[in-house]
Every structure is written in C-alpha cells, then in structure tokens.
Amino acid sequence: MSPQHDRASGLVDDTSDEVVEPSEDERDAWQRVRRSAQGMRHHEAKTAWEDARKAAEKGSRTGRDALIAQAEIDEWERITEALFDHAGAYDSADDPFVQGELEGRAHHAPPPPARR
C-alpha cells in the first residue's frame, strides 16, 4: 500500500505523516475478512473483493459503517493482491502481513501482571 493510499484510508495523518493506529472496528473487519478468505484461491478472493465493493456502493453508509466497509474492501484487496502470483489458497498463518501485525502488537502489548 502506498503512502498516498494510506492517507486516503485515514491510516496516515496528512499533516505529520504519523501512522494512526487502526480502530478496533477496523481490526475486527480485517479479522472477519481473513476468516472468510481462509482456503480461498485468487479468483475466489477477487470475487469477494468485487462483491464487497458493490455492496458498499449500493448502501449509503456513513460514519462507522463506512469505515468498516472500507476496511473490509481494503483487506479483500490486499489478500487478492497477495494471492495474485500465489498458486495456493489463502492462509492467514502464512500471510507475512498478518504475522508482522501480530508480532508488532505483541511487542506493544502491556506486560502481563506480575504474579506473587
């Protein structure tokens, strides 16, 4: 994803270029898409991406609903592009983006409470 695309999605603050953490709603939308994409091949993911775009165009979503719909579209697009030159099916356990995200979140998570 280019910095320009990030700005359009709201993940980058235009004034300072600081990365804005995705909301829990966005993270939940990504997880739903990843669960749905599990086992899909490129053509199936592409169809799901197109369906998500059509559904978003039909509805007059605003605010939170629009944010969630866009997060789902963006994740379908990312998965579709990742599968473009991949002969196998999608598996989030093999997705470098997902694994990097999990690792990054683990490093930023508060430490577990100390046991006595």
Residue 111 pLDDT class (50, 70, 90 cuts): low
Tell me the per-residue pLDDT of 3-60, one tens digit each, with 9 for 90 and over.
Answer: 444 444 555 545 667 778 889 999 999 999 999 999 999 999 999 999 999 998 887 7
Q: How many CB atoms lie within 10 A of CB 40?
A: 19
The rounded distance, in Å, linking the Cα atoms of 14 and 27 is 21
Identify the bridge partners of residue 19 per DSSP, sorted by sequence position: 12
Q: Report pLDDT for 7.
A: 43
Residue 74 has pLDDT above 80, yes or no: yes
Q: How many CB atoms lie within 10 A of CB 9?
A: 17
Among 35, 43, 8, which Cα is nearest to 95's? 35
The rounded distance, in Å, linking the Cα atoms of 38 and 48 is 12
Residue 115 pLDDT class (50, 70, 90 cuts): low
**28: number of CA atoms within 13 Å, CB side?**
8
Domain layout of the chain by residue ranges: 24-103
Which pTM was predicted?
Answer: 0.72
